[in-house]
Amino acid sequence: MEIAPKLENLLRNYTGHLAPILDHDLNTPDVTRLDFTAANAQLLETDLRDTAAFEVFVNQMLAEKNATVGVGGYFENRVIYRRSEHFDGSQQARTLHLGVDIWAPALIPIYTPLAGKVHSFQDNNNFGDYGPTIILEHELEGITFYTLYGHLSRTSLDGLFVGKELAAGERVAFMGPYPENGDWPPHLHFQLMTDMLGKTGDFPGVCSLAEETAFRKICLDPNLLLRCKLLA
């Protein structure tokens, strides 16, 4: 069996301890889904290159739904990447989001749902990129896989080293403020991968429509670990 379906089945039926990724429960009424596709007409009227204006817009979306945390984005075809040349491919722009975003206040702690060790980390400091990024390596029943935490605070990288072990529920990082988080409104990009493709400290978080089939085999639904009912 290929790794992806085997891991997906393992995580879907996993009954061991999965620690929450935030102190905030993602299944409370003040958590809502946020839409960053072309279907959101208000988004098309927002100056996305102005990060302060973008943050105001995100907070307005949350307020309209009486929410304090926003979630969503797995394989969502987004328009927000037009803000940065980083996502413009030579043939086709990258618009499909490969992880789940959790929009919440800057500087709150972020935890690992499962025990693991640091695979790699770096500050991807292009405008619109991940900013400080940490990738953990995990193993369950002989299967190795990876989780990526992007848009972190720079202090999150202090004291890290490759191979550092973390227990389930141990703090990985802090939510980054802009501009140090890649210049985005504060949020966590959380991604689940079966293969690092030889990369360290970075991994595509967005792909083009032409790449969708290939990346669906590598980037599994992060909600297998988050267990957020809104994303089920």
C-alpha–C-alpha distance, residues 156 and 181, integer Å: 11
In a domain, 232, yes or no: no
Domain assignment of residue 179, given as a range:
3-17+29-226
Q: Are 74 and 220 a contacting pair, CB within 8 Å?
A: no
- Dihedral (Cα; 56, 134, 232, 87), 10-degree rounding: 60
In a domain, 24, yes or no: no
For 39-52, what is each residue's pLDDT tens digit?
988 887 888 889 99
pTM, two decimals, is 0.94
Cα 125–Cα 131–Cα 137 angle in degrees, nearest 5 = 125
Q: Are 138 and 115 a contacting pair, CB within 8 Å?
A: yes
What is the count of structural domains for the chain?
Answer: 1
Cα 44–Cα 49–Cα 52 angle in degrees, nearest 5 = 100
Question: Would you call 40 exposed, middle or buried from its count of C-beta atoms within 10 A (0-12, 13-18, 19+)?
Answer: middle
For 183-229, what is each residue's pLDDT tens digit?
999 999 999 999 999 999 999 999 999 999 999 999 999 999 999 99
In a domain, 22, yes or no: no
In a domain, 42, yes or no: yes
Q: Which stretch of DSSP H or E encloses residue 84?
A: none
In a domain, 231, yes or no: no
